[in-house]
Structure 1
Amino acid sequence: MSDLETHPIVYTAKFSDADEASSLLSSSYATVRLEPLTGSSFDFEVSGLKLPDLDIYRSGSTTGLSFKSVEHFDGFTFSSMRCGALEVVSAAAAHIVSDNLDLAIDAKTVDTLFMSRQSAFCGLAISAKAIQKGLEERINDAAPRRLSFKSPWTPLQISSSYIGLCDILYEGFRGGGHLENNPIAVRNMQDALINLIVYGVEHNYSEALAAGSLEAPALIRRAIDYMHAHAHLPISTVDIAQELRVGVRTLQLSFQRWAETTPHHYLRSIRLKLARRDLLDGSGAPVGVVAKRWGFNSPGEFARLYHLAFDEKPAHVFRRELDRK
């Protein structure tokens, strides 16, 4: 999980105005629009804890309401009802969350949520970045495909465990709680939440986790080996395909099936990781030099891609490493 680079935020709010509730959730989660149910007044309570890459929340409504996604949260949500019912609607299906049915879902697929009257639920939202990083650490390999759950339902023993951990985290930060000055304990509990999810809920990486590694097809392995060996050179997808003696389309389809990306984007991710390694090695090489070394001729584009990949600017990394000398 990410280091606690920002102070955890504990929040509690009660709303009778849908626009005010929408504004709060949009600032802390993703852009959403809350609306009352037809012919109903609006009542919504929410409390929670926001950590880097992780949001724990408890919500309730006596009137019922709907959440509509304007922008999707890039991560995964886990919901458990305490009373009432929650309907989660995506492009693929609609799921009703009620007693003894706890939901695990990719938030990028969710369009609308409906809370019934007299309902309350607790939940957990984890960024896709944190999940993918956790997977890679546990399989000792790249996790190029997005996590995909085989069932939307969380086993009850897993949901009861993550709810327990969430409660400990939430209470530990309330009103000067015991976790405020204990970042190691917080990171351990964040790691425990990742373990519960990646080992306890069946998904497309479950077999790789059991085996301890992710076995790529031979063509992909050869392509990746070639990319690593020649990342410092101006190679293209055509060059890789010629080296492997396959057609460009065959190579592209293979990467799409295995990694859900293109050879070009996979090579770019390798180069970004190599550039990050050089910025962190303490050699003092300027950002522009490192960028050009790994094939990024536009400093602005390199900075943008680096920030997207690592959630920090390369110039900040450069200055931080200089200050450590």
Structure 2
Amino acid sequence: MAGGLLALLDDVALIARAAASSADDVASLAAKTSVKAAGVVIDDAAVTPQYVSGITPARELPMIWRITKGSFVNKLIIILPIALLLSEFAPWMLTPILMLGGTYLAYEGAHKIVHKLSRDEHEAVEKAENKSGADEDSMVKSAIMTDLILSAEIMVISLNEIAAEGIWMRAAVLAVVAILITVAVYGAVGLLVKMDDIGLHMITSGKNEKLGRALVNGMPIVLSVIGVVGTIAMLWVGGHIMVVGFEEFGWAWPYETIHGWENAVGGGALGWFANTGGSFIVGLIWGLIIVALLAVIKLLIPGRKDDDEVTAPVESPAAASAAGSTATDLTEQD
């Protein structure tokens, strides 16, 4: 009896050590794959803040929370099982799916630029100041859709790094990566969009008033810059996806040309900028082509209203509007 109990305890200890070893492996692989996907994670963090531009401060965190929940659904419920199944049974489908996502990102970025150049500045600010609940719902849906594309890129990059592992290990690692990246990205975004409110609290409470004023005055500029970075990121990531996809399907000229530029400047940081710039150019051209095609389709559809609405908010005017309202508050307090 005692021998049986000792044997059972040995088995339990063995299982515990195996579980601990597996947990260590999952953590190690998750860290490795997260580093590989860092570029897209930065793009995700840069894109998201523009979706809450022009929203009243009380609605910013609730909107980010809605987007965060959508991101968890994207990664854990939609992308993870599909990516695992495709990698197991139809790995050839991953590239076309990614290219569809790259096309969407290129279109979004190009459409923002076209809309910005063709829109009256005063009209853009006025529209940013009068967002309704329906506008908020539309922006959340657009943010979650963009997150779906970026999340798919993150998960596929991560999947490529652990392709040799068993399916259950791949599932565990991807789940950890999905949770860690989502918490990191949207935690940072939430902190970023509330920095001006933190600064205002510092001013009204009399603690670190100089720092508070610096935060209040600086955050609209930061958000405007992030809006521009977000648009560039969409075109860069979208273009990169298309370049790699074209190369895999036999059209290697864009890929070879961009890598030729990268090698010509000697690689390193300059090479990264050359590669990124080339991907951006491809994304912009591809996005403008899609914008033009959709415009022609709209003209050909009879009775369709020309509602030139963007799927995401205007960046800089909204940030300027937020700066104006904050400055007014500070003037009244003074």
Q: TM-score under structure 2 normalisation?
A: 0.27
Q: Which has the larger radius of gyration?
A: 2
Q: TM-score under structure 1 normalisation?
A: 0.27
Relative to total residues, which structure has the larger helix share, 1 or 2?
Answer: 2
Relative to total residues, which structure has the larger strand share, 1 or 2?
Answer: 1
